[in-house]
Structure 1
């Protein structure tokens, strides 16, 4: 609870000086003569509480509330009123024990509010007072005239007061919100229903495209899955093959190890037997003749020499046999090369003759062109055409230069790989040689000879391998280029089909075009060409007008429209040339087109026949192509219609349409020129690359045969060298190998600078190529602008014929060059074969000579051995037992030596086979790694099971054929359909939700209405009871009641007050006297206060119309209620004053009011 403890007034109305009035709880009464300022106390309280209306404070305006100085005084500059509230029980949301509310008004009429000396707005003050349940317009403040207002109040107004007390406004607010929500929901329902209908139609239209796109996607998925499965099967097959090769390699390693162990064992046994022989020889030396010892040694040396010569003889026989077979094979190759050279030369002669015929046709055509140009007065175009030919040749030269640099770059990379491989090989060889030990100097000469031969064969093999790498690289590049060309050709072909179909994608347009009606020229998209750079911008700028059909006249358009109607085919927009008006380009649009960031007017970027100028002006108008949206903003939104290169559109209205656009697969025909020229170029490239691939495959196969031979010979030599190195060591070549390695390291460092040089050269040539292409485009534009359209058409026809002849010449020259290259390759191969045959002749002669010498030497040694053994037998006869023992040892040594030689031959043979397997292992390893890498791109793809490779290949081919027959498929239909379907589902759910929301709102409104009436009736009954009781206590001769005008629906009517003074007849309030009206109104006011009690009550002369008796009853009633609240009453009635607890007298001197208090 709170009370007003003090009122401070300064400069307010008649209170000129600062006046402080302390107030107590209970019944406070202000009295004094009329006009002395009693009611100004009430006005001051209402003023400081924030009463908004100055008229309610008995003033015309706020400035009139300030003390005016009277007749002789000085007017105040402002009026200030402060009211003090007790806040000991924390009624206000302020921590202080006392709350001071101050309002100051200036002469300007502006008011300032303070709460505890802090400046606040009026609303903040009202919020603080509201927290303490204080309302400046509340029913606890009854001013002069309020009694009359209560009496004259209409029934509906009384009902509204009761509604306020009952809190009906809360229900009304909820009801109003519910109504607003219901209206919004209904609007949303209507919108949703319209959109649902549209989406349903759109879904039906999209379903066909979506089904086709799904089929396309499924085919792509099947192709990808089949390809992944194919790679997987190939990988599995190659992995199994590699595993078998590794097993073979491992078995060869084991076999070599076993033979090595056997060789070691044999050497150990031979060594032991030789020690036994030495012991026997020592004994024989002591007992026998020195000559016999020498004889024995000579015999042993002869046998050893015979064994070695026999072994070498076998090797020479094998080599001679291999040389004969190789020579026969090479001679057959020579014949094949000669045959192919002859065929190629015949083709060249045929091509030369064809070229002569084509040149004659070209000369004849040029004469026709010159005559035509002279006839139509065209002079300079020939010069421009020649210049274009020169530029074309320059472009071709630059492109070839780039390709040459790329080939050099790849060759250097292959050299680097080869050097790294050689470095690795050298490291292994150096390590191996360092581990060997020198045992026998006698074998060194043979080892040196083998090494020299090994170096020669290694060099040959290296050259062959290098050539193989070159062939592989060239073949790979050629195949990749061929595949790229095929893929690009397929894309362009698809795009070309899409261009033709996109412009006539509608069935109605297709039918009109297919009729071939004279005067029907085609769609706008068919008639215009534009660079790919501007394709998207033009598509957006033109919009749906791209599909408009251009006709010669309105009559033809009417005829086509009638045809569409009769066949129910649909609707098409026709553009008749005889009716279209040219749209003038404004000076401002031309100026904007020249600004920085602008590409120019859209109509200037399209190529078309002059007769269709009005069409493209209608379609594109003054649209300007700019770089991006920022340029459009800088130029000025709304100044002109602009479109960006990325497809964002800015309208003159200020509308901006843009965002992410998927690249059109067709381009609506604007790139037709680039597509057709690209397809022609790619067809020639594919033909040339196919021939190159075939030639390189053959060359590589022949080179591979050479590599196999070199490897076989190298393996034999390597085995012999290794066997010798095991016996005598190989340390002599270490320095040479280390020198080679150092040289290779230096070469490897040079590659980085070379790669940068290649990149720089390529960049430089590409810049030159770009400049030449720009120059060519300028001259092409010049040609396009020369002459009339009819003349240009005829010249274009001549140029196309000439171009066809030129292409035939280029094709024939290309074939001739290709054939010449083939002849060169064949001649080169023949030279190599001749060189090989010469070397083979030398080798054959060398081996034959060596074989003959070996045979003679073997024969001579056999004879010498026979003689020496005869002499030895004589000696044996004397020392038979010892000789027998030594003979057995020598025989055993001989057997072991034979076994040792055989094992060495075996180990060389096994090492040769192991080397072959090692090569195959490396090849398979590379293939497996390549397949693994290829399989990585199919990591997410599920593989198929239980299918073989041939079946997979057939399926892939079949699926790809189906894809090609499907033509242009709108894959965006999937995304659009899903998006539209998702929107449709969402809208359906939203529609259902909105229906439920509508039902909930209606239900809530019904509940609000029920609770509203229930709350009103509850309040009304309590108020009526209070009213009756209070009226009875104030009036001794009657009773009163509150009556509803429409009890069945209380909100359709108001509330009447009926009073019965005497008798049984109730009177209307208008029929009461002034005092009776006052008592009735006061009863109503006190009934309201009883229902909703306040902390204090303010009453200004409410007893004016009461007689003494009724005044006494009122005074007692106020005294009764003052026990629970603070009452401040303005009165000059003695009966009222008699019951007051504190009396305040208000007097006036010289127009200034003063207050004197008295506590009774």
Structure 2
């Protein structure tokens, strides 16, 4: 396999389509810096799939598209294609070719091409796998990669050997397996977390089931103890409340006495306070007057001191200014002598300057004459020069116009050929896109139909799923409601049963008699429907607790006590009253008991409404009428509101309530079973619907993805077809414009050549005239310079004398101004001295006056201080008397405050007791839904003595302990058993899932170990091969020496770094860090060539790898490189002459127009005079000659392109 050609278009600086045919052997790429040689290297990396813009020397990927240049528009896309000939049949049939291309449009669209077909980057990578070609292979060796090999640490350096070992495929498979293993580990971690959570839930549910049983047992015990404790606490609180009320009454009597005593003492205290206030005001007035006198004396003393200090300061200033006035008089005398000397020097300078003025006038006349002659000559020369420059500029302008027209014509011709080719290619591409668009539309239509069917089915399934979920939720809610109803009915039955068993509401003698089985209740064998049960109980009153005996005489045999007894009796049938019913018709049960009861109650009839009862009672005065709405009418009386109260139920009502609760419990249990069965059926249907929906969802996602991909494909193809059509229209317009441009360029070129020749003739004539004038002007300029020198000397002398004279005038003027200022200062000082003497005398007089006034104030102050002391003594006596009474009043206040505080404490205590009692009653009613008295009667403790003292404390501790035990148990889940079964089933499913994941993890671990084993063996084999080749190539490049490669000790070969140690000839063994620049380059080349030999590539591109080598090292490197050219093509980007001479052909990269690269091919074998003979490449004497001829050929081609 070998590289046949490289095609570039719009890639970086290669704006036009450029074809570089590559032959076997060594090929050179030459050209000046910045012409685009390295862009060929970038093109090879890019077409192989390089995705890093930085590697391609760009900021972003679209930087590889030609950005335009002067006179050239930016390219719309970049394209690179390489053609590989496969003679051995490694990737295609033997003797065939494979074309690999890559395109990038400015819109961001990117294509990989394989034999003209669009493929993915992975397809290109797979085709090149195991061929030695690829982005990460060593088919491209550049200076940066060479230095990176040596600069890398041992761990990074092993990537070179991994590429040589060809384990990239295995590492990719290992990476995929590790990703799968990571996903399996994540799934396993999630399953284990969920499994552990479910196991914890199972354990929790088991605990909850046991806790529920313990909670019910403890709740019953707590209820009994709580009621007993509340009854005892309420009794204790009532006793405390009575005691507190007694103590409060006694305290009120004591408070009234203390208040009367306090008021008497307060009146005397107010009188004393007024007397003390008057004395305090007199004392304060005297003190204020004494303080005022003291302040005035102090102010006068401070004023006297200030006046004397100011007089002393003025006397010191008087002395200093007197001395200053004497100094000014002496300075005036000295300055008069100095001014006389300055006036004498001014007269001398004035005379000398008058003499120099005549000399200066003569020099100026001579200079003006010479200057006028020189100006006239210079004007003539300037005119001639401007004429020459104008002619030269005109010739250059016409020459440039001709060259520009020629370039424009040549460029238009090249662009015209390129546009014609692009037009043909665009037409073919559009035809292909139209065919692809039709196929994509058909695929889209098919995918849309299938997606529509699946979406309709999914909507049906979702509606069915939602309906099932709603129905299942309703069934579960109904089951839960039935369970709650059954539980409520069960609780009601138990409560009624407990009341019946405890004999609630029965008198104690009746309960004892019934406990001894001495008799039974009358109502035990009778039942009455609602609401007549409560009405009959209201009629019976205490007869509800009547006993049933078999005969009248049995009553005398009962135990001591008062009892109502009934026994069998035969009574008359009731009279028929329309529309009423006899009470006997409503009674059910034992006929004897029903008859005995009716005989006791009399002629009682039942009607529905109270109005009917009232009317019938008027009509039948011998009967009693009971209405269903709770009224009882008889002759001369009526009872109302029999159903309004919320009193306790009687025996008949409780019995009816129990039967009704048992019916409700039975119906609720049946409803619960029915709902549970329905919920199970619905759950099965829902599971099936969810499974089908999940299967359909996966299929639908795939179909929708296909449809979306097809839609995207259709839109993309439509856009590209539109873009192609627009591009063809633009190409046609550009083609017409280029043809017009070509004709116009040819015409402009001919006109510019004729104008250029005429401008050249005029320039030559003007140049001859200019040379003659320059010769004649040399003498005039010499005379002008001599006159200018004489004039300059005269001017300098005159300026010096003028400056000195001006300096003397300034000094005289300054002396005059100074004398004037000193005279003014002396006069001012004399006046100030006289004024200051007068000021000092005035200050002395004022000080004496103030000192006399201060003596008078001090005498008055002593008298005032004596009167202040007398007033203070009188006020102190009054204050002591007031303090004695105040202490007594404060004692009264303290006693009253203590009594009021005690009363407040008693009131708070009584309020606390009342609140505590109310809270106790409220909390118990809230907790058990019954008043405390009813609960005490139901528990049989209302007639018992409440617990006190230690018994109460023990009961309180017992109830608190049971409360803590209930609180410790916390909430109870009554559904724990059902939830436990579901949780155990889910735990089993998760356990099976965990086993499957563990098996998958073990399989992936085994796969990774197998890949590691293969990578290890291949890496070691490649390392040994490279090690041998490295030492051999190193010795050839250095003409001796030693080089070693070693794996890091005690490390796995899969991760071990690689150390390099070398010893150049005549030197000690050293690290590569200590090598010189040339030695580092040769060492790196030896290593890379060793790797290349162990895993050769069909072709290799060397980018200026010889830049750091001298001629001798370049020769050795080329000798080694020739051994590789038999099986590998080498393309060398170089500036080195020796390397160029070894190449069999050269490609010159030029940039005739800024920003646009072109390639010129030169085959050294076709040069004349035997330049391609074998000695020309082998013998140093012929190298320079061959290169010179090559350069000449390149220049010839460039000249042809420029013309």
When normalised by structure 1's length, the TM-score is 0.35
Q: Which has the larger radius of gyration?
A: 2
